[in-house]
């Protein structure tokens, strides 16, 4: 009975992960990125000019730097980026800090496009991207000095399993830094669709306390935490203002990753934050 139950649970997780990957799959993504670059007068891709599309989380590059600036990243570090998407954060870490980065993501298309973009900016030897789940990392114990994660936990139901896997692959003295969207004070139902999910069945937004509990169970200790609601609302106010002035989004942006409902997803996300149903939060954990 135990074996049957475990098999059923694994099958359920595989089905969920397939649905999550499908949510993020859009057709001809690499071609559309290259077309958008040309529309902006860019003939050769660089790490910097890919930023509008490859930092698929609240605040983009500004938020990435805000978290990384707290971490003392050095060239000799081995970094794991969980839910790497198109590899934007991985490329940024290599480009800015010189560290070696491994990224994993559920969506095969993202990994494929990310590898192509790595080659275009000549960072393919410093970055390895793999299709894998955050709850079943294909890495050996104590392999990494640092793990990062940007806006991934909202698609992961089993936070304890995720934290256990990340703790397993971190070296003693390693650190796990994340920026996720969590539940805020309001218990009201979320507005859907949002960037990570079309409906509630594939959305697993949890309170900060759930992250704390999962981290503690995995043997990690909380080093620091920062609530990013004001930053988020200010960031999107500027985004919506620029879009209104321009009559629409720029050629290159995260809307390329969200399909025809991109505008609705972003507005619902901001409305959820405004109503305190959602809270973007940074957390940094240490492995003793």
d(CA 65, CA 74): 14
d(CA 286, CA 8): 33
The predicted pLDDT at position 8 comes to 44
| φ, ψ at 55 (rounded to 5°) | -115, 80
d(CA 108, CA 26): 11
Domains with residue ranges and CATH for the chain: 2-286 (3.40.50.150)
Instruction: Evaluate whether 287 touches 173 at the Cβ level (below 8 Å).
Output: yes
Which residues make Cβ contacts (< 8 Å) with residue 57, sequence separation at least 6? Answer: 63, 64, 150, 151, 179
pTM for the whole structure: 0.90
The predicted pLDDT at position 260 comes to 84
The tens-digit pLDDT sequence of the chain (288 residues) is: 445 444 444 545 556 566 555 555 567 899 999 999 999 888 778 999 999 999 999 999 999 999 999 999 999 999 999 999 999 999 999 999 999 999 999 999 999 999 999 999 999 999 999 999 999 999 999 999 999 999 999 999 999 999 999 999 999 999 999 999 999 999 999 999 999 999 999 999 999 999 999 999 999 999 999 999 999 999 999 999 998 999 988 888 888 888 888 999 999 999 999 999 999 999 999 999
Q: Comparing C-alpha atoms, which of 56, 57, 95, 52 is closest to residue 73?
A: 95
Q: Which residue has the tokens 């980065």?
A: 101
The predicted pLDDT at position 148 comes to 98
The predicted pLDDT at position 7 comes to 43
Residue count of the chain: 288
d(CA 82, CA 120): 22
Instruction: Evaluate whether 57 touches 179 at the Cβ level (below 8 Å).
Output: yes
């Amino acid at each position: 009975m135990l074996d049957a139950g475990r098999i059923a649970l694994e099958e359920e997780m595989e089905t969920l992960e397939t649905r999550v990957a499908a949510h993020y799959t859009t057709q001809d993504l690499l071609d559309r990125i290259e077309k958008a670059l040309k529309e902006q007068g860019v003939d050769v891709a660089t790490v910097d000019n890919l930023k509008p599309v490859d930092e698929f989380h609240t605040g983009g590059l500004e938020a990435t730097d805000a978290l990384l600036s707290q971490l003392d990243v050095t060239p000799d570090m081995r970094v794991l980026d969980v839910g790497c998407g198109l590899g934007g954060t991985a490329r940024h870490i290599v480009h800015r800090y010189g560290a070696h980065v491994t990224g994993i993501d559920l969506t095969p298309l993202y990994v494929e496009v990310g590898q192509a973009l790595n080659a275009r900016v000549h960072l393919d030897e410093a970055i390895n991207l793999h299709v894998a789940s955050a709850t079943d990392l294909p890495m050996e114990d104590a392999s990494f000095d640092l793990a990062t994660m940007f806006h991934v936990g909202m698609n992961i139901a089993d936070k304890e399993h995720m934290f256990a896997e990340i703790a397993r692959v971190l070296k003693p003295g390693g650190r796990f830094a994340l920026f996720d969207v969590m539940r805020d004070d309001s218990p009201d139902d979320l507005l859907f669709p949002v960037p990570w999910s079309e409906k509630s069945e594939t959305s697993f937004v949890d309170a900060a306390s759930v992250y704390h509990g999962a981290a503690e169970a995995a043997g990690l200790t909380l080093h620091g935490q920062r609530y990013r609601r004001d930053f988020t609302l200010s960031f999107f106010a500027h985004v919506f203002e620029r879009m209104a002035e321009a009559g629409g989004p720029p050629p290159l942006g995260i809307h390329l990753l969200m399909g025809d409902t991109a505008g609705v997803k972003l507005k619902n996300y901001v409305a959820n934050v405004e109503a305190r149903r959602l809270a973007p939060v940074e957390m940094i954990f240490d492995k003793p």
